[in-house]
Structure 1
Amino acid sequence: MAEDLLKFVSVEQEMPDKRTADLRSEDFAEIYGRYSQAGATEQASRCSQCGVPFCQIHCPLGNNIPDWLKLTAEGRLREAYEVSSATNNMPEICGRICPQDRLCEGNCVIEKDFNSVTIGAVEKYITDTAWDEGWIEPIQPRVEHSQSVGIIGAGPAGLAAAEELRKSGYQVHVYDRHDRAGGLLIYGIPGFKLEKPVVKRRTDRLSASGVRFHMNFEVGREASLGDLRSRHDALLVATGVYRPRPLKAPGVGLTGIEPALDYLTASNRKGLGDTVPAFDDGRLNAVGKNVVVIGGGDTAMDCVRTAVRQGAKSVTCLYRRDRANMPGSIREVMHAEEEGVRFEWLAGPEAFLGDDRVTAVRAYRMRLGAPDPTGRQAPEPVPDSSYALPCDLAIMALGFEPEDLPALFAAPELRVTRWGTVMVDHSTMMTNLPGVFAAGDIVRGASLVVWAIRDGRDAATAMKAYLKAEARAAA
């Protein structure tokens, strides 16, 4: 009803309750609470229902945001969930971890004068409520097909594809080298952004729906890509990208310099109750240490905020551009600053100092020069500007590159680009190998979870068309 909407002129933006920095720095629980029903209804009512929904346009999934905000404002929550889940396999996860300030909320029409609608928090509320009310049930396909699909990688792209393929009745097998499904959702993203039971209930639902998970299964060790091709009618490669991007600098081989993902994985495993020798012996534990994180993306923010919770003596983020040009979420920077992280903007590592173990990072000031090929101003060192930062643990959060999949999968025939990403026909998402598809970061390079979900859904659509054609040809 019209009276339930367009309240942005009279209702202020209000996020769910956020724990204070002092309290939240003591544990890995999520920092935001959850709206009450009245709070979610009120905030959803701020939507302007604009004629051109820029929130939807700037969502990689094309989520029908105005409609599910309208339904929430009208108290029609189950319908809101149905609309939200129609385009997104993990709405409550995206509501927690998407950089809404750069996507939907950052492009909200009312943002400039009235502050945006709290799209992410409402999205989270809708689906958390759906779980609580039992509206989310195992998938029951209308028909069962004998054709089977193998998916390599249990991250967001693989899980989204698995769900879409299972809905259509295909026999889905997911292979992953880790002991838990979820990929970076489990091992890369800290609990203060995404508590692990939120991920597990998703993978448990897929298991209950008939998706078979083969964990601790490393392609190239347990089976080659060719072996899996012989087992299944189609394959999807959705491994993500995990190899840390290297930094060339004097002293980079010293003890105490660690890749970001190793550090985050150790912390997440410890939180899950695993025995983690590299954490227990102090190598991947920041307690009592001067920590320097190099990088400015969301992974770097995860690292600095993890170090705070582990009891670091000091935490500094070293980033070569300024605040306005950092790739990570500004909201995450704000959270980190509240928790005591120090940011060294326009600064880069020149060398790592120490005998056997790092004791300091020698940094230099930088300035933004002429634009690079991407249009961003390229950072360049300021002469004679070096200075030292005390450092007992340096964490390299410079991004990720693909592993050598042709070698890893014992499949030299699999074509990759000059960057190492898997080469696909983007109209079909198929690789050069018939029936083998690829999606997510292993195709587009390191990106956002929401893009991985989109790619997984698109790959599932392409695979269904391929499988139908194969079935017709065999009939």
Structure 2
Amino acid sequence: MRHKFIDIPRQTLPERSVVERVHDYKEYASRMEDGPIVKQAERCMDCGTPFCHVGDMIGQETIGCPIHNLIPEWNKLVSDQDWYRAFERLMETNNFPEFTGRVCPAPCEGSCTLGISEDPVAIKSIERTIIDRAFEEGWVKPRHVQKRTGRRVAIIGSGPAGLAAADQLNQLGHAVTIYEKADEAGGLLFYGIPNMKLEKDVVRRRVRLLEAEGIRFKTGVNVGTDVTIESLRHTYDAVILATGAQKQRTLGIDGDDATGVEPAMDYLTESTRTLGGKSLDARYDANGKDVIVIGGGDTGADCVATAIRQGAKSVTQFGKHPEKGMFRAPERPWPLQPDTLSTDYAYAEAIEYFDRDPRTYLIRSNRVIKQGDQVVGIETERMEKIVKPDGQATFFVVDGSVETYPADLVLVAIGFERPERELRKVGIEANHDYTSNVEGVFVAGDARRGQSLIVWAIREGREVADTVDGYLNTCQQQLKTSS
């Protein structure tokens, strides 16, 4: 008898046609129908030691799922078409599978044992289908807290770390208030991730659920300006900083102050705001423009897709690394992410729209060319990457490789600086155990560990909630003892 993981090919979420979707901001993918997703779940090997939910780090690499999703267990339940129990098992470890099922890069799939010799199980597709069906069936309902502790917690930041911490602490009976400087809750889930990957009604739906369970949201409040951390310390029994890593990196080259050189996250945020009826600032309008995206990650890809929808004349994306291979490289053995070349949604759209892949590789930006204060181009050089026997990589400039690319809009998507400096501005230094140098103040998410994955943010939120709960219980016990 042959095993089903051999007979059944991998299949992922169905996608709308490129020709259709580039003209709107609706999600490009949807959940699978029940029949195909059951087949995908049957591909799971039910490993004796499932690396898909190890959730650890090897150097800078994530191995498996950081929130330890019980993947083989809910795969088996889906294969048995026991959808409700699959939903229950999924929610045991993941506060927001409707987010991760859409935007997580799925390190679990990179560590899937089947991936050693075959295409890995479509874990992310199965996860999204479970939670989408749960919402359709009405299984996702507010979980009302029966007993309150009388303890109050303020959380600054409503991204995935802040929301996860709030959810955990609220279910433990503590009264939680989330402060968010934007006009909508969700942090980068709302304004940093384009609607075609994560529709904002999906975020609002979860926020409404959390509100129904007793969590308070105060949006449009900038902690540090409108209210101080010190005042929050006097009002609440504990304060959690889950503000993310907010300071975007700059190019640091001549001319990077030109008009038309914009941080990628500002561009994506302002583009998302237009979905609520706000007119788009001309600085962030790619219509009819030659657009250069500097940075080869997911944020850069989102800029490519957004610029296409705005009607860009051309889009080119600069990456500093070589083009990835089609197969797992020897230096990236399982269970590391294979890091192979893929044509994600944005690149499929660009190839259809412009008849070419927008990605270029081994490019160094030398200077921004200006006409007056306005960017008109980028001067670049080609690079060569040499890997030494000890594994260290060195980049060299290729002689005579200077090129100039025309540009009316340059979007800088090279990541965020580590947050330590921003925290120190308000007198806070984070410790490794989620505490800080200030009594009763805790730090979690990207604000603690630096820019990372959504699953790490959720894990950080869950773990800081455990730390804060322990702190509050200790404080309560000390009060009882002293009285």
TM-score by length of 1: 0.91
Partner of 1:134: 138
**Correspondent of 1:458 among 451, 458, 463:** 463
Give the Cα separation in 2 of the matches to 1:20 and 1:174.
Answer: 39
Q: Percent identity?
A: 39
| Contact preservation (8 Å) 2:31, 2:132 | no
- Any gaps of 5 or more consecutive residues in structure 1? 416-422
> C-alpha displacement at 1:469, in angstroms?
0.7
> C-alpha displacement at 1:249, in angstroms?
1.3
Give the Cα separation in 2 of the matches to 1:168 and 1:97.
Answer: 28
| Contact preservation (8 Å) 2:301, 2:347 | no
Give the Cα separation in 1 of the matches to 2:234 and 2:388.
Answer: 49
Partner of 1:215: 219
Compared CA separation, residues 80 and 199, structure 1 to 2 (3 A): same
Partner of 1:336: 346
Compared CA separation, residues 97 and 73, structure 1 to 2 (3 A): same
Determine whether 1:19 maps to 2:16: yes
> C-alpha displacement at 1:265, in angstroms?
0.3
Most deviating of 22-31 and 452-461: 22-31
Partner of 1:163: 167
| Contact preservation (8 Å) 1:176, 1:215 | yes
Partner of 1:448: 453
| Contact preservation (8 Å) 2:161, 2:445 | yes
Most deviating of 354-363 and 206-215: 354-363
Deviating above 6 A after TM superposition, structure 1's stretches of 4 or more consecutive aligned residues are: 325-329
Q: How does 1:203-352 map to 2 (within 5 A)?
A: 203-273=207-277, 275-276=278-279, 279-280=280-281, 282-324=282-324, 333-340=343-350, 341-352=357-368
Most deviating of 438-447 and 18-27: 18-27
Give the Cα separation in 2 of the matches to 1:128 and 1:291.
Answer: 36
| Contact preservation (8 Å) 2:258, 2:375 | yes
SS state of the match for residue 87, structure 1?
coil
Compared CA separation, residues 470 and 332, structure 1 to 2 (3 A): farther
> C-alpha displacement at 1:6, in angstroms?
5.0
- Any gaps of 5 or more consecutive residues in structure 2? 55-63, 326-331, 351-356
Determine whether 1:154 maps to 2:158: yes
Partner of 1:361: 378
Partner of 1:400: 416
> C-alpha displacement at 1:107, in angstroms?
1.8
| Contact preservation (8 Å) 1:439, 1:455 | yes
| Contact preservation (8 Å) 2:444, 2:461 | yes
Give the Cα separation in 1 of the matches to 2:143 and 2:347.
Answer: 43
Compared CA separation, residues 317 and 333, structure 1 to 2 (3 A): farther
Determine whether 1:10 maps to 2:7: yes
Most deviating of 200-209 and 349-358: 349-358
**Correspondent of 1:172 among 164, 172, 176:** 176
SS state of the match for residue 77, structure 2?
helix
Partner of 2:37: 40
> C-alpha displacement at 1:333, in angstroms?
4.4
Partner of 2:104: 98
> C-alpha displacement at 1:372, in angstroms?
12
Most deviating of 394-403 and 127-136: 394-403
Provide the aligned C-alpha RMSD in A.
Answer: 2.2
**Correspondent of 1:67 among 62, 73, 86:** 73
| Contact preservation (8 Å) 2:323, 2:341 | no
| Contact preservation (8 Å) 1:26, 1:309 | yes
| Contact preservation (8 Å) 1:298, 1:329 | no
Compared CA separation, residues 66 and 214, structure 1 to 2 (3 A): same
Deviations 1:297-338 (A, max 9, x none): 111111111111111111100011112399997677433332
Compared CA separation, residues 324 and 316, structure 1 to 2 (3 A): same
Partner of 2:90: 84
| Aligned pairs, number | 453
Give the Cα separation in 2 of the matches to 1:238 and 1:203.
Answer: 16
Deviations 1:404-452 (A, max 9, x none): 54576xx43x23xxxxxxx21x23x110111111000011111111110
Compared CA separation, residues 105 and 331, structure 1 to 2 (3 A): farther
> C-alpha displacement at 1:88, in angstroms?
0.7
Determine whether 1:50 maps to 2:55: no
TM-score by length of 2: 0.89
| Contact preservation (8 Å) 1:13, 1:118 | yes
| Contact preservation (8 Å) 1:188, 1:261 | yes
